[in-house]
Amino acid sequence: MVFCSGSVHFLVSIHTSHKLKIESIYIYKRIISSLFLLVFSWPVITAQEEHNFSSGARVSGLSGAGTVMTDLWSNYHNQAGLAGIEDFTVGFHYENKFAFSSFSLQSFAMAIPTKSGTIGGNMAVFGNPGYFESKISLAFGKPFGKKFAAGIQLDMLGIYQSHDYGNVVTLAAEGGIMAKPTEKITLGLYVYNPTGAHFKEFTDKEVPVIFEWGLGYQITEKLLFVTEAEKKIGYRTVVIAGTEYYVLNSVCARAGVSTFKYSNYSFGIGFKQKRIRADLAFSEHKTLGYSSHFSLSYSF
C-alpha cells in the first residue's frame, strides 16, 4: 500500500511538472511571437505618425479625410480650416493603437480667433517613455472673403530615446487653402513638409512630403460626403471617402473607406451639444486589428 501510494504521488508530481512546462513553453511562445510582431510591424504602426500625428476622432471615423473640415482639428489636417472657427476652443485627443498602450497617441489643440484670423497651437506625443516622437506647432488661418481661406503652420518635430541613443529635432512646415464655390461644395488643398525637412542623424527616418486634395459635399443639412486623394512622395496615391450623418440634432454616425494598403475602413459616432463636442472612432488594420480614437473639445 505504501508503494502504491508513493507511486501515485510520484506520477501526480510528474504530471504536474509536465503541465507546468507546457504552460511555460506556451507563455514564452506568446511573448516571442508578440515581440516578433511588434519589431517587424513597427514601420507600419508609425506610418501615420510620420505624416503629422493625425488627430481628431471625427476625421478618424472618416478614414482620415480631413482636408475640407473646419474645426479645431484643422490644426492637423488643413490649417485653412482654422479660419472658420469663431470661439476660443481647446481639445484633447487620444488614440490607442491595436490595444498596445506603448503605441498610444496623445494630442492637444487650441484655436484663438482674432480680428485678422485664427491662431492655432497644437502638441502631440506618440510612443512610450523609452522611445517617443513629438510635434509642437504654431498655426495661423485667415479668411479672404466668404469663399476662400488659407493657413500655414510651423512644426518642431522630435525623436527622443532612452539611455545614450540620443535625441534629434528638426523643423518643418505645412499649410493649405480652402475654397467654397457654392454653399454645398468645399474644396481643399493641403501640403505637408514642402521644404523636404528631415532628421539628419537618422537616414532611415523620413519626414515625408505629402499632398492632399479634398472635396466636401453637403448633400443635405444632416448628410455630408467627403472624398480625398493623398500623395506621399515615393508611394502610391491613396483615395479616401467618407460620410457623416446626423441621426439626431446632436448625434451623428460616420463611416469611411480607404485604399491604404494596411487599413481599408473606419467608423465612429459624434456628439455635439452647445459648446462641447465628443467623438469616438474605430479604424481597422488588416494585420494588427483595431485602433480606438477619442477626442473631446470645448468652446468658450
Identify whether 117 is part of a domain. Answer: yes
Among left, alpha and beta (phi > 0; psi -120 to 50; other), residue 63 is left
Identify whether 91 is part of a domain. Answer: yes
Number of domains in the chain: 1
Nearest Cα neighbor of 80 from 185, 173, 174, 150 is: 150
Identify whether 8 is part of a domain. Answer: no
Identify whether 38 is part of a domain. Answer: no
CATH classification at residue 116: 2.40.160.60
Domain containing residue 71: 46-299
Identify whether 193 is part of a domain. Answer: yes
Identify whether 166 is part of a domain. Answer: yes
Among left, alpha and beta (phi > 0; psi -120 to 50; other), residue 234 is left
| CA gap 123, 107 in Å, rounded | 6
C-alpha cell at 88: 476660443
Identify whether 274 is part of a domain. Answer: yes
CA 170 to chain centre: 21
Name residues whose C-beta falls within 8 Å of residue 234's C-beta, 6 or more positions apart in sequence.
208
The tens place of each residue's pLDDT in the chain, 300 residues long, gives 444 455 545 444 545 555 445 545 544 444 444 444 444 444 444 444 455 688 999 999 999 999 999 999 999 999 999 999 999 999 999 999 877 777 789 999 999 999 999 999 999 999 888 888 999 999 999 999 999 999 999 999 998 887 777 788 999 999 999 999 999 999 999 999 999 988 877 656 778 999 999 999 999 999 999 999 999 999 999 999 999 999 999 999 999 999 988 778 999 999 999 899 999 999 988 777 889 999 999 999
Identify whether 28 is part of a domain. Answer: no
